[in-house]
Amino acid sequence: MATEDILNDIVSGIKDVLSDEQLKLVNSSIKDVLAKYEINKKASNEERREKENTELLETFLSAKKIEGCSDKTIHYYQSSIVKLLKGLSKCTKEICTNDIRRYLAEIQERNGLSKVTIDNLRRIFSSFFSWLEDEDYIAKSPVRRIHKVRTDTLVKEVLSDENIETLRDSCKESRDLAMIDLLLSTGVRVGELVKINRADIDFQERQCKVFGKGNKEREVYFNARTKIHLQRYLESRTDDNPALFVTLSKPHTRLTISGVEVRLRKMGKVVHIDKVHPHKFRRTLATMAIDRGMPIEQVQKLLGHVRIDTTLHYAMVNQQNVKIAHRKFIN
């Protein structure tokens, strides 16, 4: 707080009982004394709370970054926790289980959020408060007693054999055919696909190096059809961009995530196949692999999942195969 502000506060309280001369003398004396000190205005409770909450959140996010979380994940954590802390207007250390329950219930009703979104938020809050507990900032995580949100099991669609062949036949560009085959053959995420460079492809071993979530490196494998279509596409290229997939028009820049998504959606619309997107190829691969007998642990490794539960969510077991298995093992 400025010296002038302090002087004005003092003078305003005594000006009615002192003459102008006396006020000038008091003013001068106080100013001389205050000049010897560095004075800061006392922070309000709200300012102290915000400062403490911000410091704890920043320390938590730094820890997650060291653990290898991507920038996208860090941003999602940050925005979700900031909204929670602002919504509750409490010091992090004072937040209780009922505070979080009420917050989740209120935003679900107000914003019409799905159960999946609410459970994602619950997991983020659980991660934050569990970290605070582990680091001895709090005695016990208030999220510990908030159980997983039960969500409806949705049967997510995969691409049928006919869909895949229709999409292949509709390709006018060698790039698009190579891209479809690589997505289906490897099951890579679209974020991994656009990061692949030509040098990452090993045609001899029919494998490719990709960098997944948290910048984790892994090998993925492709079939003979994909190898041929990739080689044809690369042979047709006239640019020197190191990226595996580039734009069709000059200056042939690296293809972006949105670029892949828009292209696949357009291709799907042309042949009347709904909701063609990169993730659908990934889910199709997982389903095909399990239906054909690949052990779930190997599918998990193939897709780059840390937890096997995630793999099970991706993979749809074909209902016809369930029927055949029932006749084989139960009848």
Residues 222, 208 contacting (CB under 8 angstroms) = yes
Q: In terms of DSSP H, where are the helices of 35-66?
A: 45-66
Residues 211, 195 contacting (CB under 8 angstroms) = yes
Res 317 pLDDT > 60? no
Radius of gyration, CA atoms only, the chain: 30
Task: Check residue 150 and give its pLDDT.
Answer: 75
pTM (2 d.p.): 0.62
Within a domain: residue 13? yes
Within a domain: residue 23? yes
As a whole-number percent, the residues of the chain with pLDDT over 70 amount to 85
CATH number at residue 271: 1.10.443.10
Within a domain: residue 252? yes
Within a domain: residue 147? no
Are residues 301 and 238 both part of a single domain?
A: yes
Within a domain: residue 331? no
Average pLDDT over the chain, rounded to whole?
Answer: 86
Could you list the residue range(s) of the whole structural domain that residue 303 is in? 161-325
Burial class, 56, CB count within 10 angstroms (exposed 0-12 / middle 13-18 / buried 19+): buried
Within a domain: residue 128? yes
Task: Check residue 12 and give its pLDDT.
Answer: 72
Q: Give the tokens for residue 55.
A: 């410091």
Q: Helix 278-291 to helix 257-270 angle, to the nearest 10 degrees?
A: 80
Contacts with 298 (C-beta within 8 Å, 6 or more apart), sequence order: 289
Are residues 209 and 306 both part of a single domain?
A: yes
Within a domain: residue 97? yes
pLDDT band for 173, please (50, 70, 90 cuts).
very high
Are residues 111 and 241 both part of a single domain?
A: no
Q: What is the pLDDT of residues 242-284, one digit of tens each?
A: 999 999 999 999 999 999 999 999 999 999 999 999 999 998 9
pLDDT band for 207, please (50, 70, 90 cuts).
very high
Are residues 279 and 224 both part of a single domain?
A: yes
Sheet-wide strand order for 217-221: 201-202, 207-211, 217-221
Are residues 53 and 29 both part of a single domain?
A: no
Q: What is the pLDDT of residues 224-234, one digit of tens each?
A: 999 999 999 99
Are residues 180 and 207 both part of a single domain?
A: yes
Are residues 68 and 20 both part of a single domain?
A: no
Task: Check residue 215 and give its pLDDT.
Answer: 73
Which helix (H) or strand (E) segment is 207 a member of?
strand 207-211
How many domains would you assign to the chain?
3
Task: Check residue 326 and give its pLDDT.
Answer: 53
Are residues 73 and 19 both part of a single domain?
A: no
Are residues 119 and 173 both part of a single domain?
A: no
Are residues 195 and 316 both part of a single domain?
A: yes
Task: Check residue 315 and give its pLDDT.
Answer: 58
CATH number at residue 128: 1.10.150
pLDDT band for 101, please (50, 70, 90 cuts).
very high
Within a domain: residue 150? no
Are residues 125 and 250 both part of a single domain?
A: no
Res 321 pLDDT > 80? no
Q: What is the pLDDT of residues 27-70, one digit of tens each?
A: 777 777 767 777 666 657 787 888 899 999 999 999 988 887 77
Res 87 pLDDT > 60? yes
Residues 260, 278 contacting (CB under 8 angstroms) = yes
Are residues 80 and 200 both part of a single domain?
A: no
